[in-house]
Chains A and B, each alone.
Chain A
Amino acid sequence: MDEVVRFENVGLRYGLGPEVLQDVTFSLTPGSFHFLMGASGAGKSSLMKLMYLALRPTRGIVSLFGREVAMVPRDGLPALRRQIGVVFQEFRLLTHQTAFDNVALPLRIAGRRESEVRKHVEELLAWVGLQDHMEAKPETLSGGQQQRVAIARAVITRPKLLLADEPTGNVDDRIAARLLHLFEELNKLGTTIVIATHSKVLAGETGHPILRLEDGHLEVVEQDAVLTRGVPRGTSQGASIAPPLSPGVEE
């Protein structure tokens, strides 16, 4: 099977500045789960942007789902992007729309029927604990609530690849554990996941391998899952709260 993400000698610089990323080479197999770690300013967000096609590399090759991105014509990009769910570091919610409409957006863009949209969005919002805030505008929500809206929007289409940039930065530990559980459930359903974080705690709990960024270079660090002090999966949360995710969008 094709690798979901493949970087070959990728370099990135902003304008005439120094190279933020240098000779980055790695690949993600389908169904893998990685944490992307590095100090603030190490280039985590930049690497994520390359993966969700908000940036093009200044050198090297980026491939997604077996296709070299530089070779994909402009009108082929939406199809690629619809297979990727993104939780932006700054959320980037549509501020004039309700939580419901924000989460519904990817389904509507993909042309789903409104009845289907309503059902899935309501279920998912309830699952992330926002059933009482469906009609709320983002500005009336707390940072943590906005983040959950952003996460719900990223996963509503059950993307093949989920990229989350510091998704638990604004929430307390209990919510963080719950969100992590959501990502685990998605992962079990086959979604490839990359979570950027600078929290060692979050990464350490699960035993997933780590993509470590330092001085513009990337190295993959395998964690020994047995040694991690993780939240026992499935026991504290219970099987009944599996996230209600709509079937993936086929292009």
Chain B
Amino acid sequence: MFTRRSDVPFDKDDTSRYLPWLIAFMVFLAALALASVFVLGHVAANWDRGLSDTLTVQLPSGEDTKTDERRAAAAMDLLKKTSGIERADLLDRKQVAELLEPWLGPATGNSDLPLPQVINVEIDGSLELDVAGLETELRAVVPGATIDDHRIWMDGFIRSLHAVEALGILVFIFVAIATVGTIVFATRTGLGLHRETIEVLHLIGARDSYIAGQFATRSMFLGLRGSLIGILAAVPVLLGIGLLVNSLDSGFLPKMELTAAGWTAIALLLPTTAIVAWITARITVVRTLNRRL
């Protein structure tokens, strides 16, 4: 089964040494590109669902505590009356200080620094809430109040996630084209190296398809070997990156994980590469031989 008899002495040429490594490298890149596409797609989908149901209302700090309290009460009143809002929570000074800590430093809570007041609002995602209208109403009660609609920010963020995803797909396509090009080049080189043998086969009555079949079979095995190496190299790298990213535990980021679909896609690189190598070599041989006697 594994003693492949070939009429063309492929073992004696260099392509069998360098081609698998080139293919391995490209399959490795393709696996990373695929993984990024799947991970980002997964992240975007989950984020969409998780965080889009909240708003943050910010009230500017007044001259004194009494003004602050009055403004907070007025804003809370308005929010509770508005339909589509499920709950509204006024954060106390300590919580706000915690939120601002990354920007203002750990002493924020203890200082006399004027802090804005923050209200976390949960909305009913199924209802269309007029955020802009609500902001106008809120400003009538508390001048200078702002609403941070996460959706707007999220939309932008998810758009850029999708952009990176598209970049991954682009890289994948480029790598695929480069792989096909490499196989075409290696096959042409082989046709030149084995010109003598090919002529003898032709003179004995071999059809182009017979010779193409021999090149295709060998290209397929080189492709298999190369993609196996590439995939075996990519798996530990992907697992390592996964561990690293998730150990950062960056709170608001959803878990970065490669789904089963992602792993399947990477595994499918193996047969795909073999088939592409087979077809590419076959077409290259038939086309090239067509120009000979």
Chain A contact residues, CB within 8 Å of chain B: 52-54, 56, 74-75, 77-79, 81-82, 86, 88, 92, 94-97, 101, 105-106, 109-110, 153
Q: Which residues of chain A come closer than 8 Å to B197, judged between CB atoms? A: 94
Q: How many residues of B contact A (CB 8 A)?
A: 20
Chain B contact residues, CB within 8 Å of chain A: 5, 7, 9, 11-12, 196-197, 199-208, 210, 290, 293
Is B207 touching A75 in the complex (CB atoms < 8 A)?
A: yes
Is A81 touching B7 in the complex (CB atoms < 8 A)?
A: no
9 closest cross-chain pairs (CB), A and B: A82-B205, A96-B9, A81-B205, A109-B206, A78-B205, A78-B207, A92-B200, A106-B204, A109-B205
Q: Which residues of chain B come closer than 8 Å to A95, judged between CB atoms? A: 9
Nearest residue in B to A93 (C-beta to C-beta)?
A: B200
Q: Which of B5, B11, B202 touches A81 (beta carbons < 8 Å)?
A: B202
Is A105 touching B9 in the complex (CB atoms < 8 A)?
A: no
Total inter-chain residue pairs, C-beta < 8 Å: 50
CA–CA, A92 to B210, complex, Å? 19
CA–CA, A116 to B83, complex, Å? 88
CA–CA, A96 to B4, complex, Å? 13
Is B210 touching A96 in the complex (CB atoms < 8 A)?
A: no
CA–CA, A81 to B205, complex, Å? 5
> Smallest CB–CB gap between A71 and chain B, Å?
15
> Smallest CB–CB gap between A194 and chain B, Å?
15
Is A109 touching B9 in the complex (CB atoms < 8 A)?
A: no
Q: Which residues of chain A come closer than 8 Å to B204, judged between CB atoms? A: 81-82, 86, 105-106, 109, 153
Nearest residue in A to B200 (C-beta to C-beta)?
A: A92
> Smallest CB–CB gap between A229 and chain B, Å?
36
Q: Which residues of chain A come closer than 8 Å to B7, judged between CB atoms? A: 94, 97, 105
Q: Which residues of chain A come closer than 8 Å to B208, judged between CB atoms? A: 75
Q: Which of A82, A94, A101 touches B200 (beta carbons < 8 Å)?
A: A94
Q: Which residues of chain A come closer than 8 Å to B9, judged between CB atoms? A: 94-96
Q: Which residues of chain A come closer than 8 Å to B11, judged between CB atoms? A: 96
Q: Which residues of chain A come closer than 8 Å to B200, judged between CB atoms? A: 88, 92, 94
Nearest residue in A to B204 (C-beta to C-beta)?
A: A106
